[in-house]
Amino acid sequence: MKKIAVMTSGGDAPGMNAAIRAVVRYAVNNDMKVLGIRRGYAGLLDEDFIEMDFASVGGIMEKGGTILRSSRCPEFVRKETRAEAAKILVKHGVEGLVVIGGEGSLHGAMFLEEEQKVPVVGIPGTIDNDIALTDMSIGVDTCLNTVVDAIQKLKDTASSHERAFIVEVMGRSSGYIATVSGLVTGAEAIVIPEIPVNYEALGNKILRERERGKINCIVVVAEGAASAYTVARHLEHRIGYETRITILGHIQRGGSPTAFDRLLASRMGVAAVEFLKRGTSYVMTSLQGGKIVPAKLDEVLKQKKSLNMELVELTSLLS
């Protein structure tokens, strides 16, 4: 393979730059040319390209966001649009494509190969940790550290003022971010889409804690379960705490990636190029039991990653 292209697509995630760097440097070291596609699939259709060499990715590993920028491209659900994209790639001599992104972006990549025969390798990049067949996606660890740091700060104020904080975190339809951040900050409760919420039981639990002398209360709510406002409305009159709401929002997506995310991204970036070089495509780089292995894209995308319920049990056991 003489020339590959790389893009980041969908919501940005910390570590995407480290993945771009690894793709470009490993490809260049293997005598391949690399075309950077700006703004994801939208940029591909606009031919918004940049030639990338070894030096072009210097000093980017520690940066949040993505130097290639990103976008959501609803037009890419159309087969004709994907055919147009494939023609553009052929015109530019691209023989393989690396797509770094979440579920929607990986779907686009899967169809590009299935219908248009463009060899693709996906790299899971999303804070949500909702992609099946990989233990972790790039960005999850950094996001968790950001959320934990924020909740720790809120706990200070919660204790000083004897308040309850209802903290809403991202995750689309997954409760992973809420569960893990709730577990490791000792939150009183989590509200996640995987388990229907019982406000009466939740309120009673918080009341019991209060009666035992607890002076603060943190409830972490996954955006896919309910809004923090709804949860606050249900709890306020039951728990005897003055209540405040914090929606963490997009601060969860930014920031310098943790060592874990830089390492994962570097390993996955190298693996993606290695797969293409060996003729293995229609796969996603996947972290399984500490190893990076290829997982077939259709297998990845036909299933929903389920939340490890042991984590949920631990949260309620320890709080």
Q: Catalogue the active-site residues.
A: 128
228 makes contact with ligand F6P (CB under 6 A):
no
Give the range of 23-31, 110-118, 168-176, 208-216 binding ligand F6P by CB under 6 A: 168-176
User: Closest residue to ligand F6P, Cβ-based?
Assistant: 170
Instruction: Figure out which of the listed residues 161, 172, 214, 244 binds ligand F6P, where binding follows CB under 6 A.
Output: 172
> Rounded distance, CA 54 to CA 79, Å?
34
> Rounded distance, CA 193 to CA 178, Å?
10
168 makes contact with ligand F6P (CB under 6 A):
no
Which residues neighbour 87 within 8 Å (Cβ) at sequence distance 6 or greater?
none
261 makes contact with ligand F6P (CB under 6 A):
no
Q: Which is nearer to ligand F6P, 11 or 108 (CB)?
A: 11
Q: Note whether 113 and 97 are within 8 A (CB).
A: no
CB of 50 to ligand F6P, least distance (A): 24
Instruction: Figure out which of the listed residues 5, 7, 111, 128 binds ligand F6P, where binding follows CB under 6 A.
Output: 128
CB of 101 to ligand F6P, least distance (A): 9
CB of 102 to ligand F6P, least distance (A): 5
CB of 155 to ligand F6P, least distance (A): 23
171 makes contact with ligand F6P (CB under 6 A):
yes
138 makes contact with ligand F6P (CB under 6 A):
no
> Rounded distance, CA 99 to CA 64, Å?
18
Using CB under 6 A, count the residues that bind ligand F6P.
10
Backbone angles phi, psi at 37, to 5 degrees: -100, 120
Interface positions, 17-76, toward ligand F6P (CB under 6 A): none
253 makes contact with ligand F6P (CB under 6 A):
yes
102 makes contact with ligand F6P (CB under 6 A):
yes
| Residues contributing to the site for ligand F6P (CB under 6 A) | 11, 102, 126-128, 170-172, 223, 253
